[in-house]
Structure 1
Amino acid sequence: MAEQARAAVIVGVDASEGSLRAVRWAAHEAARRDADLRLLHACVVDPGEEAEFLPEHVSRRTRHAAKIARAAAPGLEVAVDVRLGLAVDLLLAESATAPLIVLGSHGLGGLRGALIGSVALRVAAGAQCPVVVFRGHAGPTGPVVAGVDSSPASEEALRFAVDAAVARDVPLIVAHAAHQRVPSIEPAFADQQAEDRRELEELVSGWTRKHPALEITTRVVKDREPSRVLMAVAPDAQLIVVGSRGRGPVAGALLGSTGNHLLAHATCPVAVVH
Structure 2
Amino acid sequence: MADQAAVIVGVDASEGSLRAVRWAAHEAARRGADLRLFHACVVDPGDEAELLPEHVTRRTRHAAKIARTAAPGVEVDVHVELGLAVDLLLAASGTAALIVLGSHGLGGLRGALTGSVTLRVAAGAHCPVVVFRGQAGPQGPVVVGVGSSPASEEALRFAVDAAVARGVPLVVAHAGRPSVPGTAPEDRRDLDELVAGLAQKHPDLDVTTRVVEDREPARVLMAVAPDAQLIVVGSRGRGPVAGAVLGSTGNDLLARSACPVAVVH
Q: Normalization by structure 2: what TM-score?
A: 0.96
List aligned pairs for 1:144-163, cutoff 5 A. Answer: 144-163=142-161
Residues 188-211 of structure 1 show CA distances to partners (whole Å, capped at 9, x for unaligned) of 3xx2xx211111122222221111
Shift of 1:252: 1.1
Residues 129-188 of structure 1 show CA distances to partners (whole Å, capped at 9, x for unaligned) of 00000000001100000000000000000000000000000000000001137xxx4323
Does the 8 Å CA contact 1:110/1:117 hold for their aligned counterparts?
no
Partner of 2:58: helix, strand, or coil?
helix
Say if 2:255 is the partner of 1:264: yes
**Counterparts of 1:73 and 1:165, CA distance in 2:** 19
Does the 8 Å CA contact 2:114/2:243 hold for their aligned counterparts?
no
Shift of 1:117: 6.8
Shift of 1:15: 1.1
Say if 2:207 is the partner of 1:216: yes
Quote the residue 1:176 is aligned against.
174
Partner of 2:242: helix, strand, or coil?
coil
**Counterparts of 1:39 and 1:29, CA distance in 2:** 13
Cα pair distance change 1:6/1:242, threshold 3 Å: closer
Shift of 1:116: 5.9
Does the 8 Å CA contact 2:173/2:209 hold for their aligned counterparts?
yes
Does the 8 Å CA contact 2:98/2:127 hold for their aligned counterparts?
yes
- Given candidates 86, 94, 107, the residue that maps to 1:88 is 86
Quote the residue 1:65 is aligned against.
63
Q: Which amino acid aligns with 1:110?
A: L
**Counterparts of 2:49 and 2:90, CA distance in 1:** 21
**Counterparts of 2:137 and 2:147, CA distance in 1:** 26
Say if 2:48 is the partner of 1:50: yes
Cα pair distance change 1:27/1:116, threshold 3 Å: farther
Does the 8 Å CA contact 1:116/1:263 hold for their aligned counterparts?
no
Taking every aligned residue pair, what percent have the same amino acid on both sides?
A: 79
Q: Which amino acid aligns with 2:263?
A: V
Does the 8 Å CA contact 1:118/1:251 hold for their aligned counterparts?
no
**Counterparts of 1:187 and 1:4, CA distance in 2:** 56
Does the 8 Å CA contact 2:160/2:170 hold for their aligned counterparts?
yes
Residues 68-111 of structure 1 show CA distances to partners (whole Å, capped at 9, x for unaligned) of 10111112100000000111101100111101000000145324
Say if 2:236 is the partner of 1:238: no
Counting matched residue pairs gives: 264
Quote the residue 1:110 is aligned against.
109
**Counterparts of 2:137 and 2:251, CA distance in 1:** 22
Quote the residue 2:181 is aligned against.
186
Partner of 1:146: helix, strand, or coil?
strand
**Counterparts of 1:238 and 1:169, CA distance in 2:** 12
Quote the residue 1:98 is aligned against.
96
Q: Give every structure 1 segment of 4 or more consecutive aligned residues whose post-TM-superposition deviation is greater than 6 Å.
A: none
Most deviating of 157-166 and 68-77: 68-77
Partner of 2:173: helix, strand, or coil?
strand
List aligned pairs for 1:126-145, cutoff 5 A. Answer: 126-145=124-143
Q: Which amino acid aligns with 2:88?
A: L
Partner of 1:254: helix, strand, or coil?
helix
